Amino acid sequence: MRVTRSVIPNLFTVANLFCGFASIVAAFEGRISQAIWLVVTAGIFDMLDGVVARITHSTSEFGVELDSLCDAVSFGVAPSVLLYVSFPAAWHHHQWTLVVAALPAIAGVLRLARFNVQLTSMEDKLYFRGMPIPAGALTLLAYLHSWHIEIPGSYQPQALAAITVLISLAMVSTIKYDNLPRPSLRSFRQRPIIFVIFIVGIIACSVTSLKAMFPFMALYLIGGALRHAFVFLRQRDDDDDSVEETDPDPLSM
């Protein structure tokens, strides 16, 4: 087998997958906090593989497909497993609990399939249709990590289910969401305000041990929806060609 420079970014992608698998194992063993941190670590590797691929000029269709497969595990299946084990044991005999827990995995895989079908360029997009699967996973797990316990005990399962449904709908929607900027000078020049907010969010999450992540990601979720609604009301008949591609949406009926 010929070894090429594309192996370097692919190693980061595989590290993403390993963290996702380790998170699933940790969740089943009851180490919820560790499982959440492993998904966060997977997110770091997911961000770095694209950066490294561009530095080494080794972007490829293989890398895109590998990234999607690994993302499906780390940001789809792993959060779904974490969600299921987070529901009270007494709720596990309800069939709807299993269905709700599976939603992040289902919505995430649909989101990735749509992205791959519509992908025609290796260049980073400024915007995406639907909330990206890593962002959806981090939003859900940030809530589980720090904010789930703030809800009165009797309402925790319902609140968790509601947030799960909301995030899953956002992923399969056609709402326009910003692509989180890469840590590069080019990203800063393209969108300085978004870049600064992103950096501030990372610092806040690090300082607060992820407690600030849920408000940050909730702002991302709600902000994209509000902007989409505003643009829709102002320009109903204006076709926006700046998001991913103009191909028909495979998820629309």
pLDDT at 148: 78
| Distance from C-alpha of 41 to C-alpha of 50, rounded to nearest angstrom | 15
Residue-wise pLDDT for 161-190, tens only, equals 899 999 999 999 989 888 877 666 777 777
Q: Report angle CA 140, 66, 15 to the nearest 5 degrees.
A: 65
| Distance from C-alpha of 119 to C-alpha of 247, rounded to nearest angstrom | 10
Residue-wise pLDDT for 75-86, tens only, equals 999 999 999 998
CB 13 within 8 A of CB 49: yes
Stronger pLDDT, 253 or 123, i.e. the higher one: 123
| Distance from C-alpha of 22 to C-alpha of 31, rounded to nearest angstrom | 11
Lowest mean per-residue pLDDT among 95-104, 124-133, 159-168: 124-133
Tokens representing residue 9 in the block: 């970014």
| Distance from C-alpha of 225 to C-alpha of 178, rounded to nearest angstrom | 11
Stronger pLDDT, 38 or 124, i.e. the higher one: 38
* Residue 128 bridge partners (DSSP): 177
| DSSP code for 145 | I
Q: What is the mean pLDDT of residues 57-69?
A: 86
Q: How far is CA 131 from CA 34, 166, 175, 222, in A?
A: 25, 11, 7, 11
pLDDT at 23: 97
Residue-wise pLDDT for 6-36, tens only, equals 788 889 999 999 999 999 999 999 999 999 9
Query: Considering the chain, what is the average pLDDT of its residues?
Result: 84
Confidence of residue 38 (pLDDT cuts 50, 70, 90): very high
Residue-wise pLDDT for 188-205, tens only, equals 777 788 888 888 888 888
| Distance from C-alpha of 99 to C-alpha of 126, rounded to nearest angstrom | 33
CB 182 within 8 A of CB 50: yes
Please determine, for residue 253, whether its predicted confidence score (pLDDT) is greater than 60: no
Structural domain boundaries of the chain? 7-234
Percent with pLDDT over 90 in the chain: 41
Between helix 78-86 and helix 7-28 the angle, nearest 10°, is 10
Confidence of residue 246 (pLDDT cuts 50, 70, 90): very low
Stronger pLDDT, 85 or 253, i.e. the higher one: 85
- List all residues 6 or more positions away from 189 whose beta carbon is below 8 Å from its beta carbon: none
pLDDT at 250: 45
Please determine, for residue 93, whether its predicted confidence score (pLDDT) is greater than 80: no
pLDDT at 185: 72
Topology of domain 7-234, per CATH?
A: Four Helix Bundle (Hemerythrin (Met), subunit A) (1.20.120)
Q: Of 76, 2, 14, 24, which Cα lies nearest the Cα of 45?
A: 14
Percent with pLDDT over 70 in the chain: 85
Tokens representing residue 224 in the block: 């994209």
Q: What is the mean pLDDT of residues 132-158?
A: 86
Q: What is the mean pLDDT of residues 128-145?
A: 92
Q: Of 135, 151, 119, which Cα lies nearest the Cα of 74?
A: 135
pLDDT at 183: 65
Indicate the residue type of 69: L
pTM summary value: 0.83
Residue-wise pLDDT for 223-240, tens only, equals 888 988 888 888 775 555
| Distance from C-alpha of 239 to C-alpha of 23, rounded to nearest angstrom | 41
